[in-house]
Structure formats: structure tokens, C-alpha cells
Amino acid sequence: MSIFKTSDSVVVSLPEYTTKEEKTLIIRGFEGQSENDKVKITLNHNITKHITIKSLTNAIVDSPQSFDTEYDELILNKFSSVELKNIGDVWYILSSDGITNS
């Protein structure tokens, strides 16, 4: 298990992670991860309001709230990134690359 933190950023190498107060999250592969495994990131909408995520491995981002009022989760491909803003009961995708329709 591995987490590296700075004042506003986190680099994780874990199978699952829930956001806290970070503004930037870098997702790395975890030890023993197979090619088909995805890292699961859960957005804590009570604390996290704006976040940029860079994924260096395949990942799933989920939250109890929807994304763009349409999706339950986001699937990030390896080397993709996404910027998200939480307003009201919705996560809005402000910018992205490499997201698969979820």
C-alpha cells in the first residue's frame, strides 16, 4: 500500500481510495495489479468540491452523486485525466481526456 501526500496533492498506489481534501490526485498501479484490474476512486462529496485526477492506470471514479447528471461512474483509461467540480448534488466534468462512456 502506498500513499504520498503534499499539502494539496496525493499520489496513490492502492486498489481503492476515497478522496479527502486534496485538489490533485495521481493514480498509479498497485502491487499485484493485473492488466484487467481497475483502481476504484470514490469521491467524498462532503469534503472534496473540486479535483483534478490523473490516472497512470485504468480506474473507475464513483460517487453517490451523478456525473453531469447522466453517469453513475467514470471509467478512466490509462494515462487519462479529468477535472471535476461538485455543485449541488452533481459532479460536473470541466475537462477530460480518455474517459470511456460510463
pLDDT per position as a tens digit, 66-101: 999 999 999 999 999 999 999 999 999 999 886 665
**Contact 78/93 with Cβ under 8 angstroms?**
no
pLDDT at 1: 54
Domain boundaries, the chain: 3-100
Please tell me the distance from the alpha carbon of residue 44 to that of residue 39, in angstroms, as a whole number. 16
What is the third-level CATH fold of 3-100? Jelly Rolls (2.60.120)
Longest dimension (CA), the chain: 38
Q: Which of 2, 45, 49 is nearest to 27 (CA)?
A: 2
- Residue 102 in this model has a pLDDT that exceeds 90: no
